[in-house]
Amino acid sequence: MNFAQGHVNPLMHFAELLAMRGFFITFVTTEWIDQRLLKEASTDAAARDREAKERGLKFRFLSVPDGLTPDHGRTTELGELFLVLQNMGPALENLLTAADTSVPPITCIVSDSYISYTAEVAQNLGVPRVIFWTCCTAKSLAQTNANVLLSQGHIPVTDILSPTSVFPAFLYVYFTRHKNIADYLLVNTFEELEGRKEAQMGLSVNGCPALAVGPVSLPNFLQGENTNVSMLEEDNTCFRWLDSQPKQSVLYVSFGRLAVKFERQLHELALGLEASGFPFLWVLRLDIAEGKSLELPEGFKERTKDRALVVSWTKQFQVLSHPSVGGFFTHNGWNSILEAISMGVPMIGWSYFSHQFINYFEGVDTDESKLVTKEELENVVKDLMEVSVGKKLQRNIAMYRDVATKAVMPGGSSFENLKAFVEDM
């Protein structure tokens, strides 16, 4: 069970890993998400089920209403969305218990860590509840211990109530109530990146097993499968453009679906990229910042047309795997970080929301109104793409790419952890 694209993708990858090991998967999303996924895939539910069957996977896709109006700003009104999601238990339970003799009965619920009502549903059905963390272990530990951090003064109350806080208030409330209700904990990370098993076991407040099983997207990629799903229309013309660029010469710029700065900052970023002199592929949506459409600086596209391409959305994993990409300017979403590590692409981090600040691993300024100048942006791009700093980062990230690959291959830490989980289930 899951609720947003950044959570749907890793859960889909994980579901496929389970399906390849013989499980029958019932994959549940909200109706709003399901409709958008089908629309962008230009298919229907029956065709999606047939495609899974043709690959030898036992899948069915179901959805439940979230109770919000079609025009509700789900991706921008996260507080309201979270509150509504916590009341969907009866709908999910009815869906899963509906008579269908063609599929096996539900024997386990794997739930996104933010979907609290699955605890009650699993209890009513008498099956284990598995919490799947789509975030890094460090952020997951911080959230599950938010009450301790708050009581000791490490998290000011004013910061908790801020929309850009690392610990928004609704997350604090959720983890205070539901952190102990699980039979298993799985984390989309690998032990060599965030520590051995002790790091994941810190999440297990009630003593249940906790294992690192990521990056869950990497095994499918290594086998030539593209299972990323998108709720946005993809522009894949960029791959022809990438084919024409020299090796490791292109900076890939993408700040995800939610992370768009205010208009003046957008202009500084554009001018900084232009001044850097490097080719860049920029995934940019101009319709979701400050509640209005934004515009790039006058003449920007014309001046950069010979060495830059701006698209609204594309296949990120495939972009990062392209040999012409030499750097990634990212908002530090955990999926993006894992994908960059998996492909050995060094990153420039520019956190914007929630867990992104923890993913950055360094002290950051969370003031969303602070302007980063075009000169600062130009210099940091040059550092990554040109000078010795960038070369060192490339060597470091290449090492972690090899470690990540080893982790998901037979005998690796994540592979063996997944094997143990499958045997337990």
Q: In this predicted structure, what is the pLDDT of residue 358?
A: 53
5-228+409-424 folds as Rossmann fold (3.40.50)
Cβ atoms within 10 Å, residue 213: 27
Mean pLDDT by groups of 10 residues along the chain of 425 residues? 70 94 92 74 64 78 83 67 78 88 90 87 95 85 73 62 50 53 91 80 80 94 69 75 95 76 84 96 72 80 95 90 95 91 93 53 55 93 84 89 97 96 94
For 305, phi and psi rounded to 5 degrees?
-60, -25
What's the longest Cα–Cα distance across the chain? Answer: 64
For 96, phi and psi rounded to 5 degrees?
-75, -20
Within its chain, how far is the Cα of 140 from the centroid? Answer: 14
Query: Distance between CA atoms of 413 and 403, rounded to whole angstroms?
Result: 10
Q: Decide: 324 and 242 in contact? Cβ < 8 Å.
A: yes
DSSP letter at 292? B
Q: In this predicted structure, what is the pLDDT of residue 264?
A: 86
Query: Distance between CA atoms of 42 and 404, rounded to whole angstroms?
Result: 33
Which tokens in the block code for residue 32? 């709003």
Q: In this predicted structure, what is the pLDDT of residue 157?
A: 53
Q: In this predicted structure, what is the pLDDT of residue 275?
A: 97
Select from 33, 21, 25 the least CA-distant residue to 52: 25
Q: Decide: 3 and 81 in contact? Cβ < 8 Å.
A: yes
What pLDDT digit, counting tens, does each position of 414-425 carry?
999 999 999 999
DSSP letter at 362? S
Whether 287 is catalytic: no
Cα separations (Å) of 233 from 3, 24, 285, 311? 19, 30, 11, 10
Which tokens in the block code for residue 100? 């269908």
Q: Decide: 168 and 77 in contact? Cβ < 8 Å.
A: no
Whether 7 is catalytic: yes
Catalytic, out of 13, 34, 112, 322: 112
The domain locations on the chain are 5-228+409-424, 238-404
**pTM for this one?**
0.85
DSSP letter at 250? E
Compute, in degrees rounded to 10, the torsion defined by CA atoms 169, 173, 174, 176: 130
Strand ranges of the sheet holding 210-212, from the earlier edge strand across to the other edge: 109-112, 129-133, 184-187, 210-212
For 89, phi and psi rounded to 5 degrees?
-55, -50
Catalytic, out of 7, 13, 322, 355: 7
Query: Distance between CA atoms of 242 and 229, rounded to whole angstroms?
Result: 22
Query: Distance between CA atoms of 20 and 13, rounded to whole angstroms?
Result: 11
Which tokens in the block code for residue 204? 């297990």
Q: Decide: 343 and 315 in contact? Cβ < 8 Å.
A: no
Please state the CATH superfamily assignment of the domain spanning residues 238-404 in this structure.
Answer: Glycogen Phosphorylase B; (3.40.50.2000)
Cα separations (Å) of 330 from 246, 254, 261, 271, 307? 21, 5, 13, 17, 20
DSSP letter at 394? H
What pLDDT digit, counting tens, does each position of 48-71 carry?
667 777 777 888 889 888 878 777
| CATH topology identical between 5-228+409-424 and 238-404 | yes
Query: Distance between CA atoms of 340 and 329, rounded to whole angstroms?
Result: 10
Cβ atoms within 10 Å, residue 49: 14
